Each structure stands twice: as structure tokens, then as C-alpha cells.
Structure 1
Amino acid sequence: MIPFLVVSAVFIIDRITKIFAMKFLKGKVVTVIPGFFSLVFAENKGAAFSILSSSTGAGRFLMLIAFPAVIIVALIYLLLTKKEYPLYLKISLSLILGGALGNLYDRIVYGTVVDFLDFHVGKYHWPAFNVADIAVFIGTVMLILNVSGKEEA
């Protein structure tokens, strides 16, 4: 039940925040912390850091739709069939799944992923990202820590 709640929460929060960004941030920059954090509307036609944003055809489809869909199916399978997994591992997989679903939804429905969180320090600028990206990142870090912790034990 907890994995379902985590996946649902990530997906719903991601959708709500992206709808907000599409409705209120187009053509605007809302400075939250001057010189550090802003809310913007950005469309990412590629993968992380806009990789593959200018590619077209079958390769683009495979990398941005088919590959994530296969990972989503694998994560669902693991969460539904591996009841013996510890809660920590289930939560990490659920965070990754919820984020993957959020970004795949955007790619299928809009043809692009909506990003809106914009961090920068001076001339250094991190690419804009979204709630789904945060969930995938946190879930991946948790997964790595879980796996590396098992090997040390």
C-alpha cells in the first residue's frame, strides 16, 4: 500500500506543479531567492539536461518513450511481485516510478517535459527541472545507498 501511495503522491504533485507552471509561468520569471532560485516555464524536448532534444525519428522514440516505458513496467513488476523487499527499497523504487510516470506522461501528452525549478549562482546555471526529476533523483540516491550498504555488510 505504501508504494502505491508514494507513486500516486509523486505523480499528483508533479502534475499539479506542472499545470501551475503551464498556466502561470509562461513568459515570466518569478524570482524566489534573488541570484539563486527562480520559477520559470521551460520545455525540455529531450532527456535529462536536454540530451537528445534535437534528435528525431526512431532513436528519439526509443530513448524518450520506449525505454522509460520498459523501466516503468519493470518497476511495477518488482513492486508487485517482490513482497520481501524492505520498505526502504520499496520507497526508493516508488519514487523512481512516480517520477518516471510524471515525465513520460508529459512526453506522450505534450511531446515535451515541463520544467520550472531554476537554480543559479552567478554565471553558473543548473538546467531547469521539476518534481518528477527530484523524485527520480532521491529514489536513485536511496537505491544506491541501499545497494552499497548491503555490499558493505
Structure 2
Amino acid sequence: MKIDKLVRAAIIIAIIMLNVGCDQVSKAIVRNHIEAYSSLRFLHDHFMLTRVENTGAFLSLGDQIPGYLHSILLSVIPGVFLIWGIWYLITNTRLSRATVIGICFMVGGGAGNVFDRIIHGSVTDFLYIDFPPFHTGVFNMADLSITTGVIIILIDMAMKKWKERPNTEQTQG
């Protein structure tokens, strides 16, 4: 039905926009209340809010690329993939709910970071976790959305494989 498709598309757009919104609100708070490269430490320094302006991609990869090429590689190409991702979500009705949600999180996170690159010229990262031996690079809510989306999709794939496995009790009987 046409209404079902519209409702599905609206839900997809809403999930994406909620991810973008959480990302942008958190970054605005950080930009307005934490000076660049200063930190607020919590839980015996295991959790830190620190404002870093990242001109590259993940872990600052590509931050030394010259101007126009930098824009193409870190804004235009990801923007095209995000538009394709939205189109794929809306037109591919055979995806599981979990996969749709996972891709929405990934698209929302990617859109938040691309928006930053276009508007601010950099991505504001501000979260750092250090629980030895585990520690992260400095990241943001968009990165968390992308990672959460990947985890949701991987769990969904694993559960599908688990359900498809042969029942050993029936095959041995």
C-alpha cells in the first residue's frame, strides 16, 4: 500500500533525523561550553569531555589532504553515499527491521559529521574513554551512532545465521 510506504519512509527519516539531532545538539553544547583542547574529567579520569576540532576523517585520517580534494573526499563522496543509503532504505522493503535501524544510525551519524565538515570546516569530537587496557580515540555522538548501527547489523546477521543453522537433535535422530 502507498500509505505503508509513506509511513515507512517517515519512520526511516525520523530515525535518521533523531541521530543527526542528538549529534548536533551535543556538539553545539560542547562548542559553547568547552574551550578548544580543554578537558573535563570524570570517574577518576576514566571518562573525559575534551573539545577537539578534527579536520580529517576517523582518527584524523586525511587531515593533510589539500583543499578541494579534501572537500571531495570528506564531504562530497560521503554525501553521495548518504543519499544512496537513504534511497536504499526507502526502496528496499526486504530488509529486516534491525538492519533498517542499523543503517539509519549509520546514515544519521554520517550525516552529522558531513554537516559539520560543510558548516564548520571540521568535525567536533569530544568524548574520550580510558578503562585500561581499553581506551578510545576522541569521538562524538555521530561516531557512536555509526558504531551502534554496525553492531546492530552484525547482531542481526549473527541471529539470522543462528536461526538458519541445522537443528542437530533432529538430524542425529
TM-score, with structure 2 as normaliser: 0.79
* Residue pairs, 1:38-49, within 5 angstroms: 38-49=48-59
Which residue identity does 1:75 align to in structure 2? G
SS of equivalent to 1:129: coil
Render the CA deviation track for 1:49-88: whole Å, top value 9, x for unaligned. Answer: 1101122144422320122112101111111111232211
Return the alpha-carbon distance in structure 2 between the equivalents of residues 125 and 43 of structure 1.
19
**More divergent stretch after superposition (126-135 vs 136-145):** 136-145
Render the CA deviation track for 1:127-151: whole Å, top value 9, x for unaligned. Answer: 2110000000111122233345545
Match of 1:63 in 2: 73
Higher RCO structure, 1 or 2 (CA under 8 Å, sep 6+): 1
Structure 2: runs of 5 or more not aligned: 1-9, 165-173
Render the CA deviation track for 1:7-62: whole Å, top value 9, x for unaligned. Answer: 11111111110000000011431112222111111111000011011221444223
Match of 1:95 in 2: 105
| Higher alpha-carbon Rg | 2
Return the alpha-carbon distance in structure 2 between the equivalents of residues 82 and 43 of structure 1.
36
Render the CA deviation track for 1:108-143: whole Å, top value 9, x for unaligned. Answer: 001100011012346985221100000001111222
Q: CA RMSD in A?
A: 2.0
Quote the sequence identity (%).
Answer: 24
Match of 1:22 in 2: 31
TM-score, with structure 1 as normaliser: 0.89
Which residue identity does 2:89 align to in structure 1? L
Return the alpha-carbon distance in structure 2 between the equivalents of residues 73 and 37 of structure 1.
34
Match of 1:137 in 2: 147
Does the 8 Å contact 1:39/1:116 carry over to 2?
yes
Q: How many residues align?
A: 153
Does the 8 Å contact 1:2/1:91 carry over to 2?
no
Which residue identity does 1:87 align to in structure 2? R
Structure 1: runs of 5 or more not aligned: none
